[in-house]
Each structure stands twice: as structure tokens, then as C-alpha cells.
A and B are shown apart, each in its own frame.
Chain A
Amino acid sequence: MALSATEKKLDHLHWPLVLCTLIICSLGVWNLASATKNAPVALWWVQFKWMFAGVVAIAGILFVDYRWFQTLAWPGYLVALGLLAGVAFAGKKVLGARRWLQVGSMQLQPSEFVKLAVIVVLARWFTRDETGARKGQYGLVDLWRPFVLILIPVALVMKQPDLGTAMVTFAIAMTMVMFAKVKWRDLFILFATGAATAVLAWNKFLKDYQKQRLLTFLNPEAYAKGAGYHAIQSVIAVGSGQWSGKGWGEGTQNQLAFLPEQHTDFIFSVWAEEHGFLGGVALIALYAFLVLAALDVAANARDKFGSFLALGIAALFFWHAFINMGMVIGILPVVGVPLPLFSYGGSSVLADMLGIGILLNVSLRRFMF
């Protein structure tokens, strides 16, 4: 009986999504092996282990009905905030930023899990809140609580400082808000406020190097040997890939270290350099499939909570992929955002896998009323 139930569950599993994830994971490990060919440690193996841990975690998540996450939303959110606070006080400082928590021999980047916590807590809030249903639409004032929920972790991440993650977290949350019924007029006000905040942030809160990065984006050639070096070398790497790339392990920009941070933020340049336009488009198609599948899960979820969860995960993957690739190919400023399942980093991989797990869970449960 239990067996057949499991079998049934397996039948309803979103296999295309699983397949897509596994393909991205495999390509990611393979690409990472090239990017870190000259590294003293086999980072691709570390990454693989994290992915395996992610698969185990997904399997674990699938056994639990995602509705139970509503119960976990607040504790999860608070734990995430606690970890962020922990980072602020006891975090490991690397290159001037406190982003990591040392847990045993591992380094944990709590901001990666904060995104998930925010997604879950917002999904819960939009599910429970009656205002929207009562009024038919949300006004801006009605949304003050979700905004507080968003802004606390964003502010803490910003403080680390980690501009990229803060921006992505905010973007994910905003996307979820947009899927709730919000008045267009209020959305406009929101954007205006956002712009004003940006100006204020520029003048008051951004660190010099962050400003520098943004400025560099606007005029990379002027900073060729300094701040713009990342951007220019990345574009050269991508461009020199041409149609089919230089081949695995043959990317000169990558292998000869002209590409900075080639195994984390700039992993996509490695891919584009070695596998060219065709490889690049293929990878984009995989991410597109992932995001579209997530939106599909959202559209077909059993309940509002599941739908918002799926939306959040879709936003998570979309914004990461879009901002990361955009930065690598020089149409967005250089901010540190990982490419999901491609960039090296245990926390990020695990968080992404948990996201996939949630997605699969939502997709699975629509058949189980």
C-alpha cells in the first residue's frame, strides 16, 4: 500500500522539471571542472557533493506536504534573520565583507537561505491576508506588513555588504507582490519610491566600491585596468567564444586567469567562452524551461499558498539567471549574484535545490486533495 502510494507519487512527479534540473546540475559540475582546472582543490567534486546533498534534501521535502511549510514560515523566517544577525556579529570577513558563518568545517552563507525564508513567509502572508479578497485589490498601505517582512532581511544583507543578494531578494519579493492583486496606480507609486530610495541609497548607504562597480558598468573602458577589468575581460571571454566556443578546458580567458572570479560570479563567461553561442543559448533555454515550468506549477497549484511558493521560486531562478548573465555579458552592472546551480557555492546550490524541492512538492500535491 505504502509502496503503491509512493509509486503513484513518483508518477505524478514533475519529471521534466527533475530532468531539467539534473541536466543543469551536470553541466554546472562539468563546467566548474573546467573553470577550476588549475585550482589546487577539486572544487567540482565539492560542488557535486553539495548537489547530492540537495537531491537528498529534495527527496526529504517531497515526503512532507508543503502546506506544512505555512506552519514553518515564521520560525524559518526568524531563524533566517537570526543567522543574518549572527553573520553581522560573528561572521567571517572575506575581502571586506561579512557574508559567511563558520559551521564546523563548513562555511554557510545565510543570505542564500534568507531568500527562501522570505518566499515562504510572503506566500503565507498573501494566503492568510483577507484584505485583498475583501477590497478586490491591494492598496499600497495594505502592503505595509509584507514590506516590513522584506525590508528587514534586505537591510541586513545590504549591511554585510552584499548588494547583489540584497537586490535579488528584493526583486523576488517584489515579483511576488506584483502577482497579488495590486492597483496599477500603487505599483507606479512603488516604482517612484523605489527610484527615490535608489538615489538615497546611492548617496547615503552604498560603499565606495559598490558605487565604483555601478559606475564601471556605465563606462567599463575607462576603468580597463581597475574596476572595469572584470566587465571587460568577461565580455572578451564571452565574445571570443563565437559560434561553438573554444572547447572544454580550452578557454584562454578562463584557463589563463584573465577572467576574475571565474568559478563563482563569472561562471557563465567560462561556459560562453568554451561552448559559444550555441552552448549559451542552450543553457538559457534550460533556465527558461525551469522558470516557465515553475510558473506553470504556480498556475496549476492546488492552493494559493502553493501558487505563491512556486511564483517565488520562479522569481528566484529568473532573477538570478537574468542578473548574473546580464552582468557577465555587460548589460547589467557587476554585482555579485550567483548563477543557479552553475556558480560554485554550497549554500547557493543547497538553497536552489531546496527551491526545486518546494516546486516539485507543490506540483506533486495538486493531485492529492
Chain B
Amino acid sequence: MLVRRDVDDIREIRPRTAMGALVCVCALLVIVVRLYQLQILRGEDYTIQSIANFRKSLFVPADRGLIKDFRGRTLVDNRPSFDVFMTPAFCKGKERDEVIAKLREYLKLTPEDVERIKIDYQKSWLNKDKLERFRPFLVDLDIPRDQVDVLEAHRTEMSCVNLIPTPHRAYRASPSLGHVLGYMSEVTPEEMDDHPEYRRGQTVGRRGIERRWERELRGADGKQNIAVDAKGRELDKDTQEALIPEGERLILATPGNNLVLSIDERLQEAADAAFPGRAGAVVVMEARTGFVRAMVSRPSFDPNKMSGRISRSELARLNEDPLKPMLFRVMNENYHPGSTFKVVTSLAGLENNVIGPNTGIFCNGGYTMGNHRWRCDKPEGHGSLSLKAALQHSCDVFAYTVGDKVGLDVLGEMAHRLGYGQPTGFDLGREIPGIIPDSKSITPEAGSARAQAINASIGQGEINVTPLQQAVAYAAIANGGNVLKPQIIRRIEAPDGRVLKEFQPELDLANGHAGKLEVKETSLAAIRAGLLAVVNEPGGTAYRSRLLDVKFAGKTGTAQVMKLGLKQKLDPTLQQYYSRDHAWFAAYAPAEDPEIVVVVLNEHGGWGAEAAAPAAAKVVLAYFRIKKEESAAVATPPVSASAAVR
């Protein structure tokens, strides 16, 4: 009976099982359709995503180009060094404290460092992005060799600590080239927005050549693709090779190009040694090409420090130093040119026929215009002098007279022709134009145009120039009228030594006369005769600095500085320093056939004849000594070979 009823029941169940079967098949078909969608229709997308999961690109940093002097000596290169990183995810809790304690001991970390490391560690864990804790953060930069050894020895105890080899910039040149070479520092997030080729932690050139030629020096980073597991750990070699196609494993970096400067390292050192002052500049430039042979800006900074382990306090000291070490005095600071400007006044007089080469002007010790008397440097007066004697003795009255006669605007026009009052075009970052006043720019408070012209005639008043402009102007006088654009890069070379670009001398086309002085040859000859007498004739202001071997010509300058009330807070010795005049000397050598121009500015150095001219003479001497030695070296083959290697 029971069985009978069961059979009926099962008979009723049967159609339901058929329906159930249908439902099951349909449901499983849904799964099949979805599989088709995922695996076939979108399969490639998901394959790419699965590859993106395990594939990690590591940067292979490009070697930055070298910077060499024009004889091939290395001024800047790269040295291997190690940075220490820590991965928070691999040391938790107690291990963290142990590792930090060890790092503190091995790396001789300060309590501040330890605090910073702990904060970075904490930040990684608190980050919303759960993968942040797998990203290593910087513990210490560029650690010394002995610490590398210690860390290597304790490697197994600290699996979360990594030593990452990173090439650091090595500045081998004298720190006096600091401003010229520049330095490196970490790229900022804003810069990375504009230049996606930079990645976090990389450095970028700051100031000087490093900054200006960043693109040439940098090269292009390569890429290494590695395979990692879900925790970001690198897989073993076999798995790597199975997962990443051979052609994609390593994309080599392209090293940056090398720069060959016109700087002569030996001359640079000589110029730095010759310069006696606390602050100032020396520029040595080839008189006929505009290539810079030496460039000192003092005080300077050490690019090695700036590029690496500089402490906060050291940085603060640099920034607070009243002598402003970060200031590039060669082209970013203005000075009254003082008497060195008399060449401008004289040229303006000659060209406008206010004076002739032999015109005599009487100096009675002063020049009166209206109710104001401008005194000469020699109170008792020079008596009657020609242009040559006026330059030789640096007579102010002569200059006042000429300046007053030609007027401010003519004076200014000649100054612009010589390259003053506008940037010289030296391609090394921002350059200030200096100040050359004209009748439109002056304010009545500063005096009448005539008074201004008289002040300007001896390089005082509103006139302001940079040492670099002085070099350009004196080079133009020396080379017969070419106003040159100063340059410092001679060649760009590929890493294999191939010359990619050779720089040629260029005229400074911004002088209003297409880079030419356009003055009479007789005028230039008259000026040159005066400048020769300055050094080589008794009574010349720089006669004491004359050289036996080399005849050079030049002009002293002693620029009065304004007594600033603000400076009164300084201690007496400093105040005395700041009230001293700026000493100038602008020279070229040899006088008959000029090869180089030397400009020395000794800030608050006092008399140009005492505080600048001797230094310039030393530089001239050094130039010819080095020239002789180097040509002797080239003449003897074995030495030449070794010099080339160097």
C-alpha cells in the first residue's frame, strides 16, 4: 500500500524533476555564457591585467654625462654609492624596533634621523593604499664605504633593509667653480608633473651647467621588467625567465652626453689662488672668441655637499651668510665699475670728436658744474694731460670733462655698444642686465642729467655693471671691435667620444650694432695705448703689477660704495669691511696681440691697484706659464699620451 502510494507520488515528482533539470541546465548555461564573456570576449584584457599584476618595472638610471675642462680633465663625474632603504611590510612590531636600533648603531644615525624613520614607517602603515607598506622608503642617503660593509655583513638579520646602489655626482673641480657647475637635488612633485620621465627620488640639475644642460647630461633611463608575487617580492630566476619575454627583461639606459667646457682647470685653480678677497669674482675669457677660461665667484659652495648629505644647519648657514655664497657674482650682481668705465667715456669722447687722441685737458684737482665740485683722485691736480696719460693716471677730471661734454645719453649709447646695460647672452641661467642710465630713466632727485653724466663718466652714480660685462667690453677693445657673447661650452660629446656639437664664437648681437663696436681704429688704438701705459709706464696706476715676461694692458677701478645705514648693526670690523671700496682690474694680455681678458673684482677690497691688479697679473702670468707647460707636454709624445688619458 505504502509502495503503491509512493509510486503515485514519484509519478508526480517526475515532471518536476524534468523541470528541475531544465532549470539546472539553464543556470549552468548562464555560467558558461559568463565564462565565454570573461575568457573569450574579454580574455585579452584580463590577460593584460594579470600580467600587470606580477610585472614590475624597475628604472635603470642612465649614467649622467661627464663635464670636462677643455684639456679633457674630468671636472664632474659619477661615483658609485649606496642608499639605504627599508620596506615596512617586512618588519613588523618588535622586529621594527630591533632593526631601527641596529640601523642607528651601524649608520651612526642621530636621534632626529631615528625619529624621521619611525614617522616614515608609521606613515607607510597608515596609508590608505595597502601596498604602500611594500614600498621601500629612504633611510639614509649615500652612506660611507665602511658602513656599506657593516650593513652587508648584517644583511641576513635585517631582511627589510635594502642597500640600493645609486650613482652620485662627484664634483672633482675646485669649489670655486660651484656656481658654474651647479649641483643636483631631488626632483620636486611639481617638476615631475611637467616631466613624467623623472621618477620620485631622482635628482635634477640645479643652477649652472647642471641645470642649463640637464637635457644633454641626463640621458634616458632604461627599464628592467621583473616579476613579483602578490606581496611585491621578486621571484626566483627561473620563474622570472618564464614570465617575462627575453626582449622585455632589460631595456638599457642611454647615458647622457659629455660636456667639454672652455674652462682650463689649472687656470681656474690659479685664478682662485690669485684672488685675494673675501668676496668677488674673476673672469678669464679668450679675447678673440669669448670662451671663458676661468670663472671664480667667491664665496662659493661645495656642489658635493649641495648634492648630497648637507645638513639643515649647514644649509641655513649658507643662506644666512652675509657674504651670500649662493650668489653668482660674475653675472648676478651689480657693481659700480669705477674707473674701469673710463674707457667707455674716452671712447665716447673720441668717437664724438669731443677729444682727439692727443687733446690736452687740464686737471686742477676738481671739476665744477653749477655749485657742485667733483674732486679728482689727486687733490692737487694732474695738470694738463692727454687721453693716454689720463687713463694711465686715472685722472677723474679728464673723464668728468669728457662726460659732461658728450652727455649722459651718448655715454650710455657707447656703454650699450660695449655690451653694458644688457645681458651678455652667457647661456647659464638668469643674468642681470646691469644699469646704464639715460636722460629718460633718471629721476630728478638723483641730480640733473649733466650731474649724472659727470658721475657716470667715472663709473659711479647710477652705472652698474657685472664682471662678465667688463670682460666682454675689454675683450672688444682688445680684439679690435668684436663684442663677443661669452660662452663656456666648447663641445658636446657622445659617451663614445663622438663630437655631437662644436660651439663657435658668437657675437653679442644685442649691442645695437650687430655685435660690432663700429668705432674708428684710431680711437681704439688711443684707448689701448692708455691701457698699456697703466701697467707698463711709470706712474701708471698698475705699474707695480707689470710683468717682465708678458706685456699686458688694463685699467684699475676703485668703486665707491654707498654707506648703508642698515649695516650699522654689524660689528665694527664688518662695518669697516662693508664701507671699503670695490677694487676692479680689467686687463688683456698680451697687449700687442691679446689672447685673454682678465677681470678681477674684489668686493670691498679697497684700491683697484692694490687689491685687484696684482691678482690679475698673477692670472696672466699663470695663463702663459700653463700655456707653455701644456704645449711642451704636447710636443713630447709620451707625456702627451698620458695627458690625453687624464
Residues facing B in A300-328 (CB within 8 A) are: 300-305, 307, 311, 314, 318, 321-322, 325-326
Residue contact A242 to B39, C-beta cutoff 8 Å: yes
Residue contact A243 to B243, C-beta cutoff 8 Å: no
Which A residues lie within 8 Å of B227 (CB)? 256
Which of the four size classes fits the interface of chain A?
A: 35 or more
Residue contact B40 to A307, C-beta cutoff 8 Å: no
Residue contact A299 to B10, C-beta cutoff 8 Å: yes
Bound together, the chains give a CA A324 to CA B350 distance in angstroms of 102
Bound together, the chains give a CA A330 to CA B37 distance in angstroms of 11
Bound together, the chains give a CA A256 to CA B36 distance in angstroms of 25
Q: Does any Cβ of A come within 8 Å of B641's Cβ?
A: no
Q: Does any Cβ of A come within 8 Å of B32's Cβ?
A: yes
- A-contacting 9-mer, from B44-52, B466-474, B557-565: B44-52
Bound together, the chains give a CA A168 to CA B27 distance in angstroms of 15
- B-contacting 9-mer, from A54-62, A84-92, A280-288: A280-288
Residue contact A295 to B10, C-beta cutoff 8 Å: no
A236 in contact with B53 given A242-B40, A329-B38, A331-B30 (CB within 8 Å): yes
Bound together, the chains give a CA A81 to CA B458 distance in angstroms of 111
Which A residues lie within 8 Å of B13 (CB)? 179, 298-299, 304, 307, 311
**Contact residues of B: prevailing secondary structure:** helix
Residue contact A272 to B34, C-beta cutoff 8 Å: no
Contact among B21, B27, B46, B228 with A292 in the assembled complex (CB-CB below 8 Å): B21
Which B residues lie within 8 Å of A291 (CB)? 21, 24
Contact among B28, B40, B49, B243 with A284 in the assembled complex (CB-CB below 8 Å): B28
Contact among B27, B46, B53 with A238 in the assembled complex (CB-CB below 8 Å): B46
Residue contact A277 to B35, C-beta cutoff 8 Å: yes
Residue contact A331 to B6, C-beta cutoff 8 Å: no
Residue contact A281 to B35, C-beta cutoff 8 Å: yes
Residue contact B46 to A240, C-beta cutoff 8 Å: yes
Contact among B5, B35, B235 with A329 in the assembled complex (CB-CB below 8 Å): B35
Contact among A258, A305, A331 with B34 in the assembled complex (CB-CB below 8 Å): A331
Contact among A272, A284, A304, A329 with B6 in the assembled complex (CB-CB below 8 Å): A304
Residue contact A239 to B54, C-beta cutoff 8 Å: no
A271 to chain B, nearest CB (A): 11
Residue contact A236 to B24, C-beta cutoff 8 Å: no
Chain A residue with Cβ nearest B230 = A257
Which B residues lie within 8 Å of A41 (CB)? none
Q: Does any Cβ of A come within 8 Å of B123's Cβ?
A: no
Which of the four size classes fits the interface of chain B?
A: 35 or more
Residue contact B17 to A238, C-beta cutoff 8 Å: no
Which B residues lie within 8 Å of A304 (CB)? 5-6, 9-10, 13
Q: Does any Cβ of A come within 8 Å of B229's Cβ?
A: yes
Residue contact A239 to B6, C-beta cutoff 8 Å: no
B11 to chain A, nearest CB (A): 9
Residue contact B38 to A238, C-beta cutoff 8 Å: yes
Residue contact B129 to A284, C-beta cutoff 8 Å: no
Q: Can you list, as one digit per residue, whether each of B15-43 has a CB less than 8 Å from chain A (1) or not (0)?
A: 01110110011011011101110111011
Q: Does any Cβ of B come within 8 Å of A16's Cβ?
A: no
A225 to chain B, nearest CB (A): 5
Bound together, the chains give a CA A277 to CA B40 distance in angstroms of 7
Residue contact B39 to A238, C-beta cutoff 8 Å: yes
Q: Does any Cβ of B come within 8 Å of A226's Cβ?
A: yes
Which A residues lie within 8 Å of B20 (CB)? 175, 179, 295, 311, 314
B34 to chain A, nearest CB (A): 5
Contact among A241, A287, A331 with B28 in the assembled complex (CB-CB below 8 Å): A287
Residue contact A226 to B130, C-beta cutoff 8 Å: yes
Residues of chain B at the chain A interface (Cβ within 8 Å): 2-3, 5-6, 9-10, 12-14, 16-18, 20-21, 24-25, 27-28, 30-32, 34-36, 38-40, 42-47, 49-51, 53-54, 129-131, 227-231, 235, 243
18 A-B residue pairs with CB within 8 Å? A236-B46, A238-B35, A239-B38, A239-B42, A242-B40, A252-B243, A256-B235, A277-B35, A277-B36, A281-B35, A284-B28, A284-B35, A287-B28, A291-B21, A304-B5, A326-B30, A329-B31, A330-B38
Top 6 A-B pairs ranked by shortest CB distance? A239-B46, A242-B43, A240-B50, A303-B6, A257-B230, A239-B38
Sample of 7 more A-B contacts, CB < 8 Å, known A243-B43, A258-B53: A235-B38, A242-B44, A256-B228, A299-B10, A302-B6, A304-B6, A314-B20
